[in-house]
Amino acid sequence: MQPGSWKPAVLDKLLADADCAGKGLDVWFRDKFFEQHAKRFHHRPFIWHVWDGLKDGFAALVNVHQLDHKNLERLIHTYLGDWIRQQEAGVRDGIDGAQTRLAAAQDLKRRLELILEGEPPYDIFVRWKPLAEQPIGWNPDLNDGVRLNIRPFMTAEVLRHNKKPKLNVTWDKDRGKDVESAPWFHKFKGDRINDHHLTVAEKKAAREASCG
């Protein structure tokens, strides 16, 4: 685009093409972006839209490539925490809707903390890794892919879309059979199972045993 060529009509056309005619960018980001992003990347989105379920509530777009344990803590305690404190002040001041927004934000905080902790069903299971190498809490390995790492967020229902058809991610059994040397071959009789859960205690015990 040439300098000076940007005009309001360009934005209007882009919004119309994105099924958001006559509305602003804020509405597109809130209502359309995540669904369209997921579709474009074949339901393996790398930008996740975390929200509390309210149009006027808390929402954040996060890049999964940067969403490690520390940054999830920052999302919970800094960004969401600031929003919660604003709503608490709003409740004290009698601002309309503040109590509803506060309750939704506190519930989102609780759900995100469950993901951070990583107990079932908010854990990550990687079928090609042995028990001692499974992620403990929210410490995803990007190489394991969006399909596996997004499971806790979809299970906790903290994304703008958590179900088909707008976000079509499942953990069905993969095709084919594992070789006998695969870490979960005997547990699943060779089936390539993805929908399995492990406790933090199981993972820690296995990791300690492997280091001993």
Domain that holds residue 47: 40-167+179-211
Q: Is the per-residue pLDDT at 1 higher than 80?
A: no
Who contacts 177 (Cβ-Cβ below 8 Å, separation ≥6)?
A: 190, 191, 192
Rounded average pLDDT over 207-211: 91
In this structure, are strands 59-63 and 47-51 parallel, antiparallel, or unpaired?
antiparallel
Domain count, the chain: 1
pLDDT of residue 8: 76
User: What are the pLDDT digits (tens) for 104-134?
Assistant: 999 999 999 999 999 999 999 999 999 999 9
Q: In 3D, which of 162, 151, 163, 142 has the Cα closest to residue 122? A: 151
Residue 18 lies in a domain: no
Residue 63 lies in a domain: yes
Indicate yes or no: pTM above 0.95.
no
Residue 16 lies in a domain: no
Higher pLDDT, 78 or 31: 78
Residue 24 lies in a domain: no
pLDDT of residue 21: 76
Residue 207 lies in a domain: yes
Structure-block tokens of residue 153: 């967020």
Residue 10 lies in a domain: no
pLDDT band per the 50, 70, 90 thresholds, residue 10 = confident
Q: Give the integer Cα–Cα distance in Å for 191 and 178.
A: 6
Residue 96 lies in a domain: yes
Q: Is the per-residue pLDDT at 71 higher than 80?
A: yes
